[in-house]
Amino acid sequence: MQNEGPPLESLLHRLTDTPEDFLAEPRIGAAGRVHVAAVVGDYLAQLGAGPDPERLSRIFQATDPKTSGNRLSVALLLTWLLSDSWFLEQQTSGDAALEAIVETSTQLAPHVAARRFVADPDRREELARFTLARLNLRPAGESIAQSQDRLTTISTAERTRVMQAARVAEERARAIREQLAKQAAHESADKFTRE
Domain ranges of the chain: 3-154, 156-195
Question: What per-residue confidence (pLDDT) applies to 184?
Answer: 79
Question: What per-residue confidence (pLDDT) applies to 155?
Answer: 79
Residue 107: phi, psi to the nearest 5? -80, -35
User: At CA 68, angle to CA 65 and CA 73, rounded to 5?
Assistant: 95
Whether 5 has a pLDDT exceeding 70, the answer reads yes
Residue 35 pLDDT grade (very low, low, confident, very high; cuts 50, 70, 90): very high
| CB environment 92-106: b (16+ within 10 A), e (fewer) | bebebbbebbbebbe
CA–CA separation, 45 and 60 (whole Å): 17
Q: Across all residues in the chain, what is the average pLDDT?
A: 89
The structure's pTM equals 0.79
Residue 186 pLDDT grade (very low, low, confident, very high; cuts 50, 70, 90): confident
Is 120 exposed, middle or buried, given 0-12, 13-18 or 19+ CB atoms closer than 10 A? middle
164 contacts 32 by C-beta, under 8 angstroms: no
CA–CA separation, 66 and 33 (whole Å): 16
